[in-house]
Amino acid sequence: MQQVKLGIIGGGTVGSGVYDALQRNGALVASRLGVNVVVERVAVRDLKKVRAAKIPKTLLTTDWREVVFDPQVQLVAELIGGTTIAREAILAALKLGKPVITANKALLSAHGEELFAAAKKYGTNLYYEASVAGGIPIIKALREGFVGNRINALYGIVNGTCNYILTRMKLEGADFGAVLADAQRLGYAETPPDLDIDGHDAAHKTGILASLAHGFWINPKKIHVEGIRHISALDIKFAGELGYTIKLLGTVKKLEGNCRVQVSVYPTLVPNSHVLASVNGVFNAVFVRGDVVGDSLFYGRGAGKDATASAVLSDIGDAVLDLKSGAKNRLPAFVPHECSGAVAPIEEVTSQYFVRLNVVDKPGVLARIATIFGESNIGISSVIQPEGHEGKSVPLIFMMHYATNGAAMKALAKISKLPSVKGRPVMIRVESFE
């Protein structure tokens, strides 16, 4: 049987997972592809470190160059993360004409265009299924399965840490800080957790999906990003009473009548009747609306050793078949096809809103707040002032009609300056999925 020799850069959680998966299911992969994948070399940071996978010492090196420049290595998997050494290693492999597999969403978000251009220049390819949503085959779906569709909308729960925290807050009525500490103890959240809870990890992934869906590479600086630090148990409670669940949602929507696209990550009120509201714990889901196929949902584990290894093995399969057929770039990593596309500023995007204020409970406060909303042409659909709250201030909750984000933020800036409003207003967008 024909052999393809694989070099792996990284022997951590993902690298060990890929090695283990190949040992476990290598024969199955070979029977399906007609090609035997053999691990030739593995680069690690520390030869003495105890690893989850029992990788033979004869395969190990601490120099990634010994993997990339090994003439026996035909295919390279970059699984170390980061944006410096990983970028250098991938570019070196591509320059040699060797296909590369990566799970590195941060690198693709920052340097995707450069890497794709290098793959094209040197007549090879870059595969990146594992960069978004773990074991969910969403990259392949967007590149191949939906090739005949215009993607009108895409919504993703693509960060398992945030979804775990928000799920626990909803089910237990717990505060954000307590659940975050527990998530760190259980290994679901990093220390520090900023990349996850401030929305940046989800933004990397959402930008990649938006680029594939709309045919122009999304500059990560153009993505509006908000995390979940400001979400309180009160917000979760009142959202539930209104029939919603709060999720950190990556949103990609084409705006009507032009080539501009909304690309954003922020906490969102999702109707409990929508399937995304029931995606709980560390699971991920991506909801895609195509103009031909209609609505599709992709659901599964978005991170972890085995889920990511599964996606890497999928890319290994594609790369091996391309090598076998002599078509190294049969399906290029990224094909720009919408050169006039642009990301719309968040201020111009229209949304509905959940607004929570802490106000002094006295006559005239509601009227003054409603006047400011009215002057900003923002309609109020409902107001809730829960009973039973005592103290210097009480919560006041508004559900707002559609308005631009710019108008909503200006109105709240004015409202926050009122003497009767205590603390910072909380604004969470509402998605109707219409």
* Nearest-angstrom CA–CA distance, 54 and 251: 41
Whether residues 93 and 61 fall in one domain: yes
Identify the active-site residue in 205, 247, 254, 305.
205
The answer on pLDDT for 338 being more than 80 is no
- Single out the residue in 292, 325, 358 at which a domain terminates: 325
Cα distances from 130 to residues 55, 110, 134, 433, in angstroms, run 22, 16, 5, 27
Q: Which CATH number do you get for residue 26?
A: 3.40.50.720
Q: Is 170 a catalytic residue?
A: no
* Residues whose CB falls within 8 Å of the CB of residue 344, separated by 6 or more in sequence, listed in order: 255, 260, 261, 262
* Nearest-angstrom CA–CA distance, 327 and 139: 20
Cα distances from 48 to residues 11, 12, 55, 61, 86, in angstroms, run 12, 13, 12, 11, 22
User: pLDDT value at position 388?
Assistant: 64
Confidence of residue 35 (pLDDT cuts 50, 70, 90): very high
Choice among 127-136, 141-150, 184-193 with the minimum mean pLDDT: 184-193
pLDDT digits (tens, 9 = 90+) for 101-118: 999 999 999 999 999 999
Whether residues 289 and 370 fall in one domain: no
Nearest to 312 by CA among 117, 100, 113: 100
pLDDT digits (tens, 9 = 90+) for 349-368: 999 999 999 999 888 999 99
The answer on pLDDT for 320 being more than 70 is yes
Contact 225, 250 (CB under 8 A): no
Whether residues 281 and 365 fall in one domain: no
In this prediction, residues 57-64 reach a mean pLDDT of 96
User: pLDDT value at position 391?
Assistant: 66
User: pLDDT value at position 389?
Assistant: 66
In the chain, how many domains are there? 3
* Nearest-angstrom CA–CA distance, 395 and 343: 35
Whether residues 32 and 176 fall in one domain: no
User: pLDDT value at position 434?
Assistant: 85
Phi and psi angles of residue 263, each rounded to the nearest 5 degrees, phi first:
-130, 110
Residue 333 maps to a domain: no
Q: Which residue has the higher pLDDT, 369 or 335?
A: 369
Whether residues 110 and 204 fall in one domain: no
The strand pairing partners of 382, in sequence order, are 399
The answer on pLDDT for 125 being more than 90 is yes
* Nearest-angstrom CA–CA distance, 199 and 267: 9
Nearest to 263 by CA among 208, 207, 335: 207
SS3 35: strand
Whether residues 144 and 285 fall in one domain: yes
| Domain containing residue 368 | 347-430
pTM: 0.95
In this prediction, residues 175-199 reach a mean pLDDT of 92
Nearest to 300 by CA among 133, 420, 163, 164: 133
